[in-house]
Amino acid sequence: MSIAYLLGKGSSKPLRYKPNIPLLLVLSIIPDIDIIFDLLTGAQLHRGPSHSVVVAIVAFIPFFIVYRKKAIPYFLALISHSLIGDFFIGGQVQLLWPLSTTQFGLQELGSYYISIFNPINIVLELTLFTIATVVLYKTNDWKVFFTNNKSNLILIIPIFTVLLPTTIGYPFSKPLLTTEPFLAIAHLFYLVLFSIAVLKALLSIYKHRFKPPINSKG
């Protein structure tokens, strides 16, 4: 999510366009919806079809047609998950599915295998998280999570597909909080931030629908 935010933010600046920050973050995590699918069905599709760049390109064609350059930040946020995050950390990504089921990554290129729990990955994740958080604060983008914007409801997706599952355990053998507390810092930060945004959006909807009408006289 940190990579997607930085890429989306950076690419939108020359376009003179202010991107939807929650949408950038959600798109960055969309490929990992296969985690939930694997959990519910027992299949092993993680880093398969949903991580394909081919699928991403096809899916974004309508958005490029309609929104043109404005779609670039969101497209970069989506493909950054597979092309950067998973390619360097863990590998085994089917980037060309359905054209090919060949797996790609540093390991597949004969390089050093870096797992999620590797110290290199932990340092990289914390560094990127720190940079993204500083930019989020400096640009005042953090304020969007404390508004009553209904669009913030999309943050439910990363909460229930990645943040909650990994924090309590799945797909790891034990909760991330107990096995790798340093990695859990970023997860908990985003989990709390997104939860606040979703709750404020829900509260806004509730007040709008159930707020008693004001009787005016005279």
Per-residue pLDDT of 72-93, as tens digits, reads 999 999 999 999 999 999 999 9
Across 82-210, where does the E strand assignment appear? none
Dist. CA 17–CA 80, nearest whole Å: 20
Q: How do residues 199-217 score in pLDDT, each as one tens digit?
A: 999 998 888 887 665 554 5
The stretch 18-41 carries a mean pLDDT of 88
Taking all residues of the chain, what is their mean pLDDT, rounded to a whole number? Answer: 89
pLDDT value at position 214? 55
Tokens of 60: 């974004």
Domain that holds residue 76: 2-210
SS3 93: strand
Q: Is the pTM of this model over 0.95?
A: no
Q: Which residue has the tokens 């053998």?
A: 173
Cβ–Cβ < 8 Å for 161, 32: yes
Residue 140 and residue 137: Cα distance in Å, rounded? 5
Question: HSE on the CB side for 135, CA within 13 Å?
Answer: 16
* Radius of gyration of the chain measured on its C-alpha atoms: 19
60 belongs to a structural domain? yes
The answer to whether position 54 is within a domain reads yes
Q: Would residue 216 count as lying in a domain?
A: no
Instruction: Please state the rounded mean pLDDT for residues 37-50.
Output: 82
Domain membership of residue 218 (yes or no) is: no
Report the C-alpha gap between 163 and 189 in whole angstroms. Answer: 10
Whether 215 is in a domain gets the answer no
What pLDDT, on a 0 to 100 scale, did the predictor assign at position 218?
46
On the 0-12 / 13-18 / 19+ scale of CB atoms within 10 A, 110 is exposed
Decide if 217 is inside a domain: no
Average pLDDT over residues 17-44: 87
20 residue type, one letter: N
Tokens linked to 178: 């107990």
pLDDT tens-digit series, residues 103-146: 999 989 988 899 888 999 999 999 999 999 999 999 999 999 99
Number of independent structural domains in the chain: 1
For the chain, percent of residues with pLDDT exceeding 70: 94
Q: Is residue 52 part of a domain?
A: yes
Structure tokens at 9: 């933010």
Nearest to 75 by CA among 18, 28, 132, 15: 28
Two structure tokens written together for 58:
């096809």
pLDDT value at position 172?
67
